[in-house]
Amino acid sequence: MKRFVIIASTICTLLFAVLLMAACETTVRTGVVDRVVSTSPVVLGPGDVVRISYTTAPELNGAQKIRSDGRISLPQIGEIRAGGKTLGQLQSELMALYKTQLKNTDVVVTLDSAATQVYVSGAVKSPKKLDFDRPTTVLQAIMEAGGPNAFGNLRKVHLIRISNGIERTQVLDLKPTIAGETTRAVYVKNGDIISVPQSAF
């Protein structure tokens, strides 16, 4: 009986400690927004500059700007299409193409710069067309246009994007990000239109 009382007392003590810790737990919010990395792979397009490095043939190393037709010209294999492919897809294709050309087909493809034109309109301080050469989020693009004006509504930002010849509109709520919450980053793509509406009042 005495042993049972001791066990019961120990269990009660443990339960009390767990409940006490749960009661003391609080959520801390800061003004710093965690950087969220885009999970979508970058798709190459005209104007992007790719750097191609060859492990066993460094004399072939160099950067190539993707032309308007989506193609680049490379030593020994000539022209290939790079537009519409991810870095990984292009790298795999080059390794296969150079298989008969090089002893070691280790080829590394990196993105030197990306050409992205975005149009920011609506209730922002400086509506304009913007050019970016690095990954940029919708919020960053708005801030490059001076940020929302006194009437700008960041709860219903319209992101208009052309996909397969069809314009699609996505409504984004950027207020949680401004408030310091951790949110998923939405990156702009070439040709995007960002429209910041005015508040109803």
| DSSP for 128-170, written as a single string | EEEEESS--BHHHHHHHTT-B-TTB-TTSEEEEEEETTEEEEE
Q: What is the pLDDT of residue 19?
A: 40
**Mean pLDDT of the 157-165 span:** 88
Which residues span the domain enclosing 147?
A: 116-196
**Mean pLDDT of the 37-66 span:** 80
- Structure confidence by residue, pLDDT tens digits, 128-154: 999 887 788 999 999 999 999 999 999
Domain boundary among 93, 113, 133: 113
Domain boundary among 113, 134, 151: 113
Q: Does the residue 80 lie in any domain?
A: yes
Task: Identify the CA nearest to 148 among candidates 159, 161, 157.
Answer: 157
Q: Say yes or no: 124 and 154 in one domain.
A: yes
Q: Tell if the pTM clears 0.75, that is, is over it.
A: no
Q: Does the residue 32 lie in any domain?
A: no
> Given the structure tokens 């052309």, which residue do they identify?
162
Cβ atoms of 35 and 132 within 8 Å: the answer is: no
Q: Say yes or no: 54 and 107 in one domain.
A: yes
Q: Does the residue 28 lie in any domain?
A: no
Beta bridge partners of 64: 50
Burial string for 132-153 (b: 16+ CB within 10 Å, else e) reads beeebbbbbbbebbeebeeebb
Q: Does the residue 4 lie in any domain?
A: no
Query: Phi-psi region for residue 24, left (φ > 0), alpha (ψ -120 to 50) or beta?
Result: alpha
Task: Identify the CA nearest to 195 among candidates 163, 164, 167.
Answer: 167
Q: Say yes or no: 120 and 63 in one domain.
A: no
